[in-house]
Amino acid sequence: MRYHDRDGRDVSLAAITDDNWRAVADVAPTDEQRRFVAALGARYLLLSMRGGLWNSLAVLAGETVAGHVMWAYDDEGGAHWVGGMLVDAAEQGKGIGRAAMLAVVDRLSDLPGAREIRLAYHPENIAAAKLYVSLGFQDTGEREDDDIVAALPVHR
């Protein structure tokens, strides 16, 4: 599947490479959003490199690095998790976050054994909540710290 933002640019997910990692590291939310997420994509890249759990991907709009997203598989719960969804402040509100989420759900749904996709978000993070709910994620009733854990069943 191909996904587009509202300017008609292709939105795609790309591996982190020698060429794009600096741009991904520089991806930053607005000042107000820093209470919900890391201040820079760099934090998520390091988590992927050091933690041995998360897998970072660059979000591209056309050829431009516009964001970051990462995924992980939870052995115990048997679910795939999405985290670190971050669209650069200058690129927000253009449909990139929605397209990137559709692309990551698509990609994870194709993995062998995919059953459920989970993510967590702060209850006051309205933009994230609206996006995830509109894609079909439902509150599981579980909480991680204060964050709402939501899940989407995989139908494949």
Ligand X SMILES: CC(C)(COP(=O)(O)OP(=O)(O)OC[C@H]1O[C@@H](n2cnc3c(N)ncnc32)[C@H](O)[C@@H]1OP(=O)(O)O)[C@@H](O)C(=O)NCCC(=O)NCCS
Contacts with ligand X, residue ranges (CB under 6 A): 29, 33, 36-37, 85-87, 92-98, 121, 125-128, 130-131, 134
Strand duo 3-4 + 147-153: pairing: unpaired
To ligand X, the closest distance from the beta carbon of 7 in angstroms equals: 11
Burial zone of 83 (CB within 10 Å; 0-12 exposed, 13-18 middle, 19+ buried): buried
Residue recorded with tokens 């300017």: 7
Q: Provide CB contacts within 8 A for 74, sequence distance 6+.
A: 80, 81, 118
Closer CB to ligand X, 14 or 126, in the complex: 126
**CB nearer to ligand X: pick between 18 and 92:** 92
Q: For ligand X, which is the closer residue by CB, 109 or 125?
A: 125
Provide, rounded to whole angstroms, the least separation between the CB of residue 118 and ligand X.
12
